Structure 1
């Protein structure tokens, strides 16, 4: 399947890394969900993936059918189910993910602030912008240097 660059994207970041066994179970559940995901009876062209063991990414190409409030609610329900089943937090927006030596780390806002303060996180550290809205933004603006991210405005006083 080829997805339009304007396809909608939702990113759910875990507070801890999934085990490979968890990833397998979660992907099977998400594949079953996306294969039958509908909006007002219309099938959605959708896919789900897990990246770096931390991020669940749902993509929907709206060129065939638009996502509706009800269809978004159904996706949130499946994510909440995954959250409960695997005892992870997928909705805490105050957890910040970043990469050091190609390894992803997730910290609370306070711990991340400390890392910026002591220069363990630098302007060139890659951070994840989970606020991207579409596939094009996901491919170009999801993994960005700290200095080019929204994070730098929140922590500007530390740079």
Structure 2
């Protein structure tokens, strides 16, 4: 069942799918509709199942599910991945590559391959204070508190040396 994002418990599962490009204005409404429809029908046979989503910066698709009251099976997770793959194909974007780096540059969100991001660090085009998005987090609590962080406070800090 689709519920408000804020009503999902802190320890609920979160999956973050960064898009290799910003969704265009003419795409975002359709993407939102498709994601909403997916969440509404995801495990619809189970009335206790609660899930939600957010689309942020016209680039990130965030899915969350309360896996405490209702167990998520491998099949449930596979269903969500199949949906994400369909979005990738429809919009010609990469959504499953978690090792690319998304970071803020002014008011814009940039998406770079890790090797290119390391070059930006080396050339001081980004600094320890640059905000990065940690798309490897797994809970809503981590999402709310550690998703947007300075490089120096993230796992990317290992590349500052």
State the distance in 2 between where 1:45 and 1:21 align: 29
Runs (4+) of structure 1 moved beyond 6 Å? Answer: none
How far apart are 1:116 and its partner, in Å?
Answer: 0.4
Give deviations 1:50-88, integer Å, cap 9, x for gaps: 111111100112243121111100000110000000000
State the distance in 2 between where 1:64 and 1:36 align: 17
How far apart are 1:111 and its partner, in Å?
Answer: 1.4
Asked if the contact 2:17/2:98 (under 8 Å) is kept, the reply is no
Gaps of 5+ in 1: none
Of the candidates 126, 131, 140, which is equivalent to residue 136 of structure 2? Answer: 131
State the distance in 1 between where 2:54 and 2:144 align: 14
**Aligned residue for 2:58?**
53
**Aligned residue for 1:90?**
95
TM-score by length of 1: 0.92
**Aligned residue for 2:80?**
75
State the distance in 1 between where 2:97 and 2:137 align: 16
Gaps of 5+ in 2: none
TM-score by length of 2: 0.91
Give the aligned length. 155
